């Protein structure tokens, strides 16, 4: 192994939705030496390619990890998109800027994380945000991340028809999902300016931040494992054998990546590690509680004269199934124009996609081998319980009713995928399970919780239980997947831990 010449006070692994934030915030202290390692390319402050800037282009295979996953019973293999670039998945996502709900954080508090209530996190949501609209109680005006509420005039005719169809079915019109209410239908808030997706590398790792002499940023560096001495992290070794020394290591490699690094480092289920020839250092349930949102797209051709396709991201119905717990909203139906789809007809398409956003079922992330270049074994176990299947069925029926309603039907010219949505419950459930896709919000492979919790890997500040000088700060530490998209919540977690642990006055 070769040894780096850049010893750090804080070594951050992963420059995505959390890691870029941490690098910017921790390096605000000029006496703290911060090193950021990202496996994907680093385009600096201003050289991002158009494919990553265009907010209407969702995902980019040139900047993807290439993960695959077992989805569910009838989807043995599916693509699990994750951004491999400075900025991480914030550089390739749809640009939705929605927060987890207050009820989501109440669930965290009810399960031992009583310092993660909505009142605790709201100041950090406000601090990260720069938006000109919404009530001051909920919104920030001067944060690094631009957030803009889409207006009706910016939506396509099909988006507006979707909203009108939901209102006709009795759903309330919501003008700000990041405000007091979420139960209803409305346009998305987005982190998009003039058509450009604002990722965390762009807005946190600016030229001014990168010029700090105490911050070093490296792209194209794949980390193998964490190094330890006497139960304390001392640095990392990369896939090419280079050692980076540090007083503290912070993993921000994402829900799949951070779990894999922990496992290769000997932190995880002891029996599973031993079977791969890895000496267990801490017997913790890494990778045992993966959660994500099962997602069923229904893609419709647009009618002649209704083919407007931008913006891609448009409107959301956030609602509760008949089996939702009190105060919970467990279903999303989203209206999105999937640009570049291989089945694109000449007139364009719209996807009315249903997501079960408070699933019961949990999946796993395991190692296939000790090789840091080998893909982890991901099993989402989507719709793995009867209750999840019933609620998803209910959501898809809502989406189908919206498409058939007089407000939206004139914009549509026929269902393309799946080929049909039958009325029979058993047949429709089979179609749903065969059509599942990735909503792209994986969490909970290294959950926060008390040391005596059988689910917990880290404490409420991201410190790995039983290990010194090692933290995890990214979506993997979310204890239960929230009922929302996860990017803003992940940024908030990084902002909050940076403040409370490192920059607290």
Please tell me the distance from the alpha carbon of residue 364 to that of residue 377, in angstroms, as a whole number. Answer: 8
Residue 505: the pLDDT is 46
Q: What is the pLDDT of residues 406-454, one digit of tens each?
A: 999 999 999 999 999 999 999 999 999 999 998 999 999 999 999 999 9
Please tell me the distance from the alpha carbon of residue 466 to that of residue 229, in angstroms, as a whole number. Answer: 13
Measured in whole angstroms, the distance separating CA 181 from the mean position of its chain's CA atoms is: 22
Structure tokens that stand for 178 in this block: 């990041």
Transcribe 324-375 into DSSP letters. Answer: PPTT---EEEEEE--TT-TT--TT-EEEEEEEESS----BEEE-S-S-TTSP
Question: How confident is residue 111, by pLDDT bands cut at 50, 70 and 90?
Answer: confident
pLDDT at 340 over 70: no
Q: How confident is the model over 110-116, as a mean pLDDT?
A: 92
Contact predicate 233/468, CB 8 Å: yes
Residue 339: the pLDDT is 76
At residue 96, the 3 state secondary structure works out as strand
Structure tokens that stand for 485 in this block: 């998209």
CA distances to 161, 178, 417, 437, 501 from 187, in Å: 12, 11, 24, 23, 36
Residue 1: the pLDDT is 66
pLDDT at 377 over 90: yes
pLDDT at 346 over 80: no
Residue 475: the pLDDT is 99
Please tell me the distance from the alpha carbon of residue 392 to that of residue 73, in angstroms, as a whole number. Answer: 14
pLDDT at 184 over 50: yes
Q: Which of 441, 465, 499, 504 is catalytic?
A: 441
Please tell me the distance from the alpha carbon of residue 299 to that of residue 499, in angstroms, as a whole number. Answer: 43
- The residue behind tokens 């189908």 is 400
- The residue behind tokens 């893909």 is 375
Domains of the chain: 1-148+191-292+361-382+440-504 (3.50.50.60), 151-187+294-358+386-435 (3.30.410.40)
pLDDT at 342 over 70: no
Q: What is the pLDDT of residues 247-275, one digit of tens each?
A: 999 999 999 999 999 999 999 999 999 99
Pairing of strands 129-130, 145-146: parallel
Residue 343: the pLDDT is 57
Measured in whole angstroms, the distance separating CA 389 from the mean position of its chain's CA atoms is: 22
464 forms bridges with which residues in the sheet? 458
pLDDT at 18 over 50: yes
Q: Please choose, from the candidates 433, 329, 456, 444, the residue with its C-alpha nearest in 3D space to the C-alpha of residue 72.
A: 433
Residue 395: the pLDDT is 99
Q: What is the pLDDT of residues 124-178, one digit of tens each?
A: 999 999 999 999 999 999 999 999 999 999 999 999 999 999 999 999 999 999 9
Please tell me the distance from the alpha carbon of residue 264 to that of residue 286, in angstroms, as a whole number. Answer: 11
Q: Please choose, from the candidates 157, 203, 428, 199, the residue with its C-alpha nearest in 3D space to the C-alpha of residue 306.
A: 157
pLDDT at 383 over 60: yes
Report the share of the chain in percent with pLDDT over 70. 97
315 forms bridges with which residues in the sheet? 187, 335
Please tell me the distance from the alpha carbon of residue 404 to that of residue 266, in angstroms, as a whole number. Answer: 53
Question: How confident is residue 245, by pLDDT bands cut at 50, 70 and 90?
Answer: very high
Residue 76: the pLDDT is 96
Q: What is the pLDDT of residues 21-75, one digit of tens each?
A: 999 999 999 999 999 999 999 999 999 999 999 999 999 999 999 999 999 999 9
Residue 228: the pLDDT is 98
Q: Determine the longest span between alpha carbons in the chain, in angstroms.
A: 69
Per the annotation, the verdict on 441 as an active-site residue is yes
């Amino acid at each position: 192994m070769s040894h780096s010449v850049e010893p750090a006070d804080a070594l951050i692994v992963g420059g995505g939705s959390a890691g870029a934030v941490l690098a910017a915030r921790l390096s605000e202290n000029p006496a703290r030496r911060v090193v950021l390692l990202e496996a994907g390319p680093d385009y600096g402050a201003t050289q991002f390619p158009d494919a990553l800037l265009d907010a209407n282009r969702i995902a980019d295979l040139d900047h993807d990890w290439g993960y695959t996953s077992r989805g569910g019973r009838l989807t043995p293999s599916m693509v699990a998109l994750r951004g491999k670039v400075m900025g991480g998945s914030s550089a390739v996502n749809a640009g939705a800027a929605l927060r987890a709900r207050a009820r989501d954080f109440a669930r965290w508090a009810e399960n031992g994380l009583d310092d993660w209530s909505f009142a605790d996190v709201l100041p950090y949501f406000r601090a990260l945000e720069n938006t000109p609209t919404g009530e001051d109680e909920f919104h920030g005006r001067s944060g690094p991340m631009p957030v803009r509420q889409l207006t009706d005039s910016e939506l396509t005719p099909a988006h507006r028809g979707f909203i009108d169809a939901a209102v006709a079915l009795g759903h309330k019109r919501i003008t700000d999902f990041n405000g007091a209410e979420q139960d209803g239908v409305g346009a998305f808030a987005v982190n998009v300016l003039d058509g450009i997706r604002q990722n965390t590398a762009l807005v946190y790792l600016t030229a001014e931040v990168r010029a700090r002499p105490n911050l070093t940023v490296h792209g194209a560096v794949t980390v193998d494992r964490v190094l330890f001495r006497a139960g304390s992290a001392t640095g990392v070794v990369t896939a090419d054998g280079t050692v980076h020394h540090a007083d503290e290591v912070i993993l921000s490699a994402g829900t799949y990546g951070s779990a894999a690094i922990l496992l290769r480092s000997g932190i995880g289920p002891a029996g599973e590690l031993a079977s791969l020839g890895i000496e267990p250092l801490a017997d913790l349930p890494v990778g045992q509680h993966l959660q994500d949102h099962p997602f069923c797209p229904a893609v419709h051709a647009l009618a002649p004269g209704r083919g407007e396709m931008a913006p891609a991201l448009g409107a959301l119905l956030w609602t509760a199934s008949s089996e939702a717990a009190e105060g919970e909203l467990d279903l999303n139906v989203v209206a999105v124009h999937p640009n570049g789809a291989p089945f694109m007809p000449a007139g364009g398409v719209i996807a009315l996609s249903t997501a079960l956003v408070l699933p019961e079922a949990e999946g796993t992330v395991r190692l296939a081998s000790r090789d840091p270049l080998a893909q982890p074994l991901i099993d989402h176990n989507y719709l793995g319980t009867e209750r999840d299947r019933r609620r998803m069925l209910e959501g898809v029926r809502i989406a189908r009713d919206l498409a058939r309603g007089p407000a939206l039907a004139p914009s549509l010219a026929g269902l393309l995928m799946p080929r049909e949505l039958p009325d029979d419950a058993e047949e429709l459930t089979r179609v749903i399970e065969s059509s599942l896709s990735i909503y792209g919000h994986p969490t909970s492979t290294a959950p926060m919780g008390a040391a005596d919790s059988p689910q917990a890997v880290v404490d409420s500040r991201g410190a790995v239980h039983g290990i010194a000088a090692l933290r995890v700060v990214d979506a993997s530490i979310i204890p239960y997947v929230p009922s929302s998209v996860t990017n803003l919540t992940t940024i908030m977690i990084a902002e909050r831990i940076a403040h409370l642990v490192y920059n607290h006055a």
